[in-house]
Amino acid sequence: MGSTVDQMDETSIPDFYANIKNEEAFIWNSRRNLLREIMTKFGFAQHPNEWWHFSYGDQLWAWKNKKENAFYGKI
C-alpha cells in the first residue's frame, strides 16, 4: 500500500501517490482507491489523513456523513 499502517508521515495520506508518475506509485494508488471504494460502498468513512483508517458509527463516521449523531462515542 506504499506505507505501513500507523506510519505517520505524508505517505499515509490516502491520495499521496495520485500524482506521482511511476509504476510503483500507480500500483499503490490503485490499491488504495480500491480499498476506499469497497469500504465506502459498505458505509465506512475514511480518515482524511490515513489510507488504512476507516470508521463506522463513531464521531468520524457521523462527521464525514453529515449525521447529527454517532451510534456510539468514546468508551
- Catalytic residue numbers read 50
DSSP state of 68: S
DSSP state of 34: H
CA–CA gap between residue 51 and residue 73 (Å, rounded) = 22
Sort 50 into a burial class: Cβ within 10 Å, 0-12 / 13-18 / 19+: middle
CA–CA gap between residue 74 and residue 59 (Å, rounded) = 9
